[in-house]
Amino acid sequence: MTRTTNGPIAVLGLGAMGTGLATRLLDQGVQVRVWNRTAERVEPLVKAGAFAAARPADAAAGTSAAICSVADGEALGTVLRGPDGVLAGGPYPGVLICASTVAPDEVVQIAGDVTSVLDVGMLGNRDHARDGELRLFVGGEERVFNAGRPLLEMLGKEVVHLGALGSGMRMKLLLNLLMGIEVQALAEASELATASGLDRQLVLKTIAGSGFASPVMAFKSKRLASGRFDKPDFRLRLMAKDLMLASKQAAAVGLSLPLATAAAETHVRAAGQGLGDEDCAAVVRALTAKPGSDT
């Protein structure tokens, strides 16, 4: 199998993480071919030296690896298996890296009989992606992992092979479950503080500097303190999706996860209130019922 640093790399899907990955590769002198469903996100990367393709299949043509970073399983299936997809014309000769967060069983189903697939759970934000500071948790056959490892090590400061295909998604869902619960807990604490007459800013500063705060909570406390949830680090609707996936995974193996279930319900409600494209810390806005509402 071709090693993934021997040729151009395709990046399919240019959200916050996909754009960061493509930028990182360009900064490292790698030839990059990009595709995105909407064209406006392509233009800055083209100016930086990337080649823009009209279809996923065209972006992947002649590359040694293709990184798919799209919103959900339906989008991933279309990018790989659709009429314009990477696999529409037959097997892909390089390594297919599924960095989209989808159900573990779904990535296995989409891969089908294609063995050159890795699923990669990415821990970090857009800045980590751009700077090669991600932590990457990988599922897939060992020979495919070994072929893709040079590329993965260019993108992340830590690369861990967890086992069979789907393992990367299982780890990612666990990590996002923790983040969703932590951020909601922080939001709940800040709302209770305000309702109790405490100074919101002081409370958030105290929590962020305490032993109770994880790095995520310390980071998100700044969002809550400012009340600004635009230009999201991680969209609330994606967190809602991932919490629901984690809850379904738990139900499938007979586990009851009350915290995960409650967080999923809150995030789904927040997305239904029109907060889906704001940062996930905007879940705080779903905690207080509006006059005349039944939420």
Q: Which of the listed CATH numbers 3.30.56.10, 3.80.30.20, 3.40.50.720, 3.40.50.300 matches domain 9-163?
A: 3.40.50.720
The beta strand positions in 148-245, using DSSP E, are 156-163
Task: Round to whole Å and give the CA distance between 87 and 60.
Answer: 9
Please answer whether residues 26 and 45 qualify as being in contact, where contact means their C-beta atoms are separated by less than 8 angstroms. Answer: yes
If phi over 0 gives left and psi between -120 and 50 gives alpha, with beta otherwise, what is residue 117?
Answer: beta
Please answer whether residues 193 and 225 qualify as being in contact, where contact means their C-beta atoms are separated by less than 8 angstroms. Answer: no
| Interior/surface letters 79-103, b for 16+ CB within 10 angstroms, e for the rest | bbebebbbbeeeebebbbbbbbbbb
| pTM: predicted TM-score of the whole model, two decimal places | 0.90
Please list the pLDDT of the chain residue by residue as tens digits (295 residues).
555 667 899 999 999 999 999 999 999 999 999 999 998 899 999 999 999 999 999 999 999 999 999 989 999 999 999 999 999 999 999 999 999 999 999 999 999 999 999 999 999 999 999 999 999 999 999 999 999 999 999 999 999 999 999 999 999 999 999 999 999 999 999 999 999 999 999 999 999 999 999 999 999 999 999 999 999 999 999 999 999 999 999 999 999 999 999 999 999 999 999 999 999 999 999 997 554 444 3
Tokens representing 118 are 């890795």
Nearest to 233 by CA among 243, 225, 222, 241: 222
Task: Round to whole Å and give the CA distance between 160 and 162.
Answer: 6
Please answer whether residues 64 and 86 qualify as being in contact, where contact means their C-beta atoms are separated by less than 8 angstroms. Answer: no
Residue ranges covered by each domain of the chain:
9-163, 171-286
List the CATH code of the domain at 171-286: 1.10.1040.10
